[in-house]
A and B are shown apart, each in its own frame.
Chain A
C-alpha cells in the first residue's frame, strides 16, 4: 500500500520545525568530516592541487582486494556468529519460560563493557596454540598431539569478535521481540502449527527488519573493528582494511590520502550491506506488527526443552562471559601473567591500587559516564526523528538523510577528530578541549548505529495510530511524543544502551580530542596500557564489569517498574 505514504501532517508548525532542525543538524555533523575524508583522499601531502593518485595507488594494488576480501569474510563471519548467538539467546530469555531467565540479562551484557583490547588478550591467553590454557587443558585431558584451537587465524578472529559482539545482537533483538504483537503466532498455533514451525514461519519472518538491522550493524562493526585484527590478524597474516588505515595514519608523516582512499573503500563495502538491508526490508508495511491493538508478547512454553535451553544459556555464559572474565580476574591479581597455577601464590592487589592512585581515574569515570549518557540520548533522539522522516514521509531527499546518517561509518575515528578540530577550534563558544566536542564526535560516529535501530523499529510501527492522532487534531510533536516514542521505546532503549556502551569504549577519535580536564576511560586504559600497566588495565576492567552488572541489574528493576520489562 504505497499510496498510504503521506507527507508531513497537514498542520505545519512543529510538524516542520523539529524534523527540519534534525535534518540540518545531521548535515552539519556529517558533511564536514565526510568532505574532509574525500578531499584528503584526493590530495597528496605537500603537493598542491587534486589528484586521483591515491586511488590509483590503492586500487591498482592486488593486495588491496585481498584486504577487502579479508575484511569482508571477517565481517560476515563475525555477524553470522553474533546473530546466531544473540538472537537465540534473546528469544530464549525474552520469549520462553526458561528457568531463571530474568537473572541472565545483566550477566549477558558483561562482554560489552570489557575493552576490546582486554577481551582479545583474554582470548590469546585462552586459545593461543602455544600458551592457551584451554588448549593445554584439552590436550592433557584428551591426550591430543596438537592444540585444538589457534586464536591467531581468521577463524580465531571471527570467534573472538563474534562472541564479543553477540550481546549487542541480544540487545537489539530483545528490543524487537518486546515490541512484537503475538497475534500472528497465536493464529498459527490455533491453526495447529507446532512451536518450531510457528517460530520458522511466523516469528522469524516478522523479525526480519530487526534481524537485518542487527546483521548490518554487526557487519559494519566487524568491518571497522580494530583490536582483533591488530592483535590476532597481524601475527596470523590476515591483514584487513582497518589495520591498513592504522598503519597509514601511524607512519611518518601520516598518509591521510591513503587512509582516505581506503576509508572510501570501506564505505563502499558497507554500502553493499546497506543495499542488502534495503532489499530485505523494502516492503515496510509487511513488517508493521505494532498496531492499535493492545497486546503482551506471549511466553512460549518449552516443556521439557526448558532445561535444554537453560543448559544452552549456561554454556554460552561459560564461554562468552565466565572464561574470559576468569582470565581477566587472574591477570588483575598477579604481578605478571604466566599460565601456571604457581602464580596463585603471588596474588596481589597492587594493580587495583595503581588504578585507584592514578590521578585521572575518577575524572575519567565521571567524564565517560556523562559523555555516554549525553551521546546516547542525543543520538537516539536525533535518529528517531530522522528515521521518522525517512520511513514515514515522501519528502524528496529523505533517502539522502538516510545516506548521510550512514556515511560516518567509513570515516576513520582519527580523521573524524582532525575534521572536528578544524571545524570547531575557532568556534565562537570555546568548546575545544571540553566534553562538548567529544559529544559531537561520538554522536557523529554512532549516528549509523542509532539510525539502523530507529529505522528497524519505525518500520515495525503501523501508521494507523499516527493517522488516528492526526485526524483527532494532534500536532506532529504531540503524536511523535505520545505515540511514536512510547511504542518504539524498547527499541530506542536498546539502541540507547548500545550507543552508551560504544561511547564508553570509543578511543580513536577521543585520542585527539581529550584534554586534561576532559579525559575519558578509554583514554586512561590506553595510557595505562602504553605505560606497560596491562595488569592494571585488567583490574580496571574487572571493576567496570562489576559496576556494569550492578547498574544494568538496577536499571532492569527500574524499567520493570515502569512497564518496559513486562512481557
Chain B
C-alpha cells in the first residue's frame, strides 16, 4: 500500500513538474532560432506549386490535422473545399477549432506534455507569437505565397498570413449621420461622444497597431489619445455582444469593432456602419508544426490554403483573404495599420497602458 502510494505521489509530482516546469519534458522540440537561414525552400516544378516528392510523401501520410481559430461552420466549409479540391490529393483533413487564445493554450499544453497532435496551426498573428518564441513551428516557405508582400509573411517561412481581421470604429446610423461619423481613430476622442462610446475591454491589439504603425511608437501620444478617448467610452465585454448593444442603441460609436461581423449585421439591414478611412488590420495565418506527424500533408494543405483556391474559399465566407487582390475591396480600409507576430514583444507595454486607462487598474 505504501509503495503504491509512493508510486502514485511520484507520478503526481512528475506530472506537476511537467505542468509547471515548462522545458522539463524531454520530447518538447528544441527552441529554434527564428532565422531565415534555417528555412528550406521546397523545390517547385512550377512557380506556386509543390514538388512531386512532397506530394508523394503527403499521399502516404494520408491525413492532415488542422488547428484553426476559424469558426466551426467556416472551418467546416474550408475543410470541405479542401477535400473537394484536386490539390488535396485525397488527403483527409481533421479540424480542431477553438478561439485563438484557447487554441494556442491547448496546443502549447499538448506540446509541453510531449504530444504533438497538430500538423498546421492557424490562428491570430499575436497568438502565434507564443509557439513561435517557443520554437514549436517549422520554417517552410509556402510556394503559393511567394508573391505575398513582406509584412504578410515571415522572411524565413515560419508563418504566413492567410486572412486579415479589420478592426475599426462602428457607429449606429440612427444616432449618427454619416457626415458626423468618425473618420480617424482620434475622432473617438472628440468630447461630442462623451457617454456615447463603447470600447471592447480586451482590444489591446488595436492600440498596439495604432501605437506602433500610426504613432510610430510615440507612447506619450498614444497615452494622450487613449486617455481622451476613454473620457468618452465605457468598457464592454465581447465584440458580438457590444455590436449588438450598439445596434440596440446602448452607444453611438463602438471603438474596436470587427469590420467583418459589423458588415454582416449591416448587410442584414441593421442600422450600423463603420469607418473605412483607416483601420487596424490583424494578421491571422498558419504555421507548420515542428515535429508534426504529417508534415508533408501539412505542406499540401498550406499550399492549397494560401493559393488561389483556398483564398477564394475564404473570400466566399465574407472573410478578408491575405493574398493581394483576393479581398472584397469594401472590406479593406483605405489606410491600414498592420499588427502581427513581429509586434508581439511590444505588446506588454501597451497592455500596461490599457490596464491603467481602460480597465482603471
Q: Which residues of A contact B (CB under 8 A)?
A: 28, 31-32, 35-36, 39-40, 43, 45-46, 63, 117, 121, 124-125, 128, 130-131, 230-231, 234-235, 237, 239, 247, 249-254, 335-339, 346, 358-360, 414, 418-419, 421-423, 425-426, 432, 511-512, 515-516, 519, 524, 526-527, 529-534
Contact = CB atoms under 8 A, between A and B. Distances in A.
Contact of A531 (B8, B249, B261): B261
B115 A531 contact: no
Given A234-B235, A252-B130, A421 B250 contact: no
A360 B19 contact: no
A252 B113 contact: no
Nearest to B19: A422
B248 A31 contact: no
B264 interface: yes
Given A250-B202, A527-B71, A532-B243, A339 B15 contact: no
Given A235-B235, A358-B72, A32 B99 contact: no
Interface string B246-270: 0111100000001011001100111
A418 B12 contact: no
A359 B351 CA distance: 37
Nearest to A28: B8
Contacts of A32: 12, 15-16
Contacts of A239: 359
23 contacts: A63-B361, A124-B250, A231-B241, A234-B201, A234-B235, A235-B234, A247-B359, A251-B351, A336-B265, A336-B268, A337-B244, A338-B249, A338-B270, A339-B248, A358-B73, A414-B105, A421-B113, A425-B114, A511-B99, A512-B102, A512-B105, A516-B97, A532-B239
B119 interface: no
B237 interface: yes
Contacts of A530: 71, 99, 239-240
Nearest to A414: B105
B263 to A, nearest CB: 10
A519 B95 CA distance: 12
A39 B235 contact: no
Contact of A527 (B97, B113, B236, B237): B97
Contacts, number: 157
A18 B237 CA distance: 47
Q: Is the interface of B mostly helix, strand, loop or mixed?
A: helix
Nearest to A252: B347
Interface of B: 8, 12, 15-16, 18-20, 22, 71-74, 76, 94-99, 101-102, 105-106, 109-110, 112-115, 126-127, 129-130, 201-202, 204, 234-241, 243-245, 247-250, 258, 260-261, 264-265, 268-271, 344, 347, 351, 359-361
A421 B110 CA distance: 7
Contacts of B22: 45-46
A169 B238 CA distance: 30
A31 B115 CA distance: 23
Contacts of B245: 124, 131
Contacts of B240: 529-534
A130 B236 CA distance: 15
A252 B343 CA distance: 12
Contact of A532 (B99, B127, B250, B264): B264
Contacts of B98: 511-512
Question: Would you list the 5 A-B pairs with minimal beta carbon distance, nearest first?
Answer: A532-B261, A531-B71, A336-B270, A422-B19, A230-B237
A235 B230 CA distance: 12
Contacts of A418: 19, 105, 109
Nearest to B69: A530
Nearest to B102: A511
A252 B271 contact: no
B72 A360 contact: yes
A519 B101 CA distance: 18
Nearest to A359: B76
Contact of A252 (B102, B126, B359): B126
A128 B73 CA distance: 33
B244 A426 contact: no
A339 B247 CA distance: 10
